[in-house]
Amino acid sequence: MARKAAKLQLGLVQKGSERDDPPGEPGSRLVGYVVVTGNLEGGDPLLEDLVVAKEHRKRGVGIRLVQMLLEHPAIKASQRLDLYCYPSLMPFYGKFGFRKVRGGEDPTSKAFMRLQISSR
């Protein structure tokens, strides 16, 4: 069976007052987003990007974005979700069940982590 290649992007938006809105973005601002690429729905997707705007960090937005991602039907239907991250973020992803596969032995080398979704 042919594998589906796809991209999934989820964002969290904060509604703003019109007075504070920058030109071209009336009514809302992007607080954070997460991007997954690869073979969704039964395949092996890769969490490529997770970014929270600097002024919104350390308030649980990153956790919320990962939770939203893991509740998405396309991810729930996947066997696993992989990612690369620096060792400082391994505890963050570990909270969701991601486990290190390899790498991340020093602060400058990225670790490869995997969440087994079928076993959740």
Ligand X SMILES: CC(C)(COP(=O)(O)OP(=O)(O)OC[C@H]1O[C@@H](n2cnc3c(N)ncnc32)[C@H](O)[C@@H]1OP(=O)(O)O)[C@@H](O)C(=O)NCCC(=O)NCCS
Is the distance from CB of 114 to CB of 82 less than 8 angstroms? yes
Instruction: Please report where in the chains the tokens 């999934």 appear, as a residue.
Output: 8
Closer to ligand X by Cβ: residue 16 or 33: 33
DSSP 2: P
Closer to ligand X by Cβ: residue 40 or 65: 65
Q: Indicate the burial class of 36 (C-beta count within 10 angstroms; 0-12, 13-18, 19 or more).
A: buried
Closer to ligand X by Cβ: residue 4 or 49: 49
Site residues for ligand X, 51-70, by CB under 6 A, read 51-52, 57-63
Site string for ligand X, 2-41 (x = CB under 6 A): ----------------------------------------
